[in-house]
Amino acid sequence: MKMNIVGFEIIAGESKKTGKPYDMSKVHTLIPLAQSNNAVGAVGTSYDCSAHVLDKLKGCQLPLLCEVNMVDVQQFGKRVQQISSIVPASEPVRKAA
């Protein structure tokens, strides 16, 4: 699916306390609202994403239209969607006037 990526955070490393690796990286997107008389525009949403997937966005001008693949994962007893791959589109997203 295509998504407008408006930001990302790479928060990954190794815990100084336990020595275990951690990855709490996130992608921030805008997704369009279902058009109706009461809803117009887009809403911001965040998804978990591995830091290695986000490496290809470093240096890219944001916002950026990307092809995104999602997977469902079990996290703390809940099913959540996580981004498994991102491929930047050739054209940047145009800002609304």
Residue 93's pLDDT is 47
Backbone angles phi, psi at 93, to 5 degrees: -70, 135
Q: Are strands 64-75 and 78-92 parallel, antiparallel or unpaired?
A: antiparallel
Tell me the residue type at 68.
V
Q: What is the rounded CA–CA span in Å between residue 29 and residue 71? A: 16
**pTM to 2 decimals?**
0.78
Domains along the chain with CATH numbers: 2-13+20-92 (2.40.50)
Cβ neighbours around 8 below 10 Å, total = 23
Using one digit for the tens of pLDDT, what is the confidence trace for 75-90?
889 898 899 999 988 6
* Residue 10 banded pLDDT, cuts 50, 70, 90: very high
- The reported pLDDT for the residue numbered 14 is 95
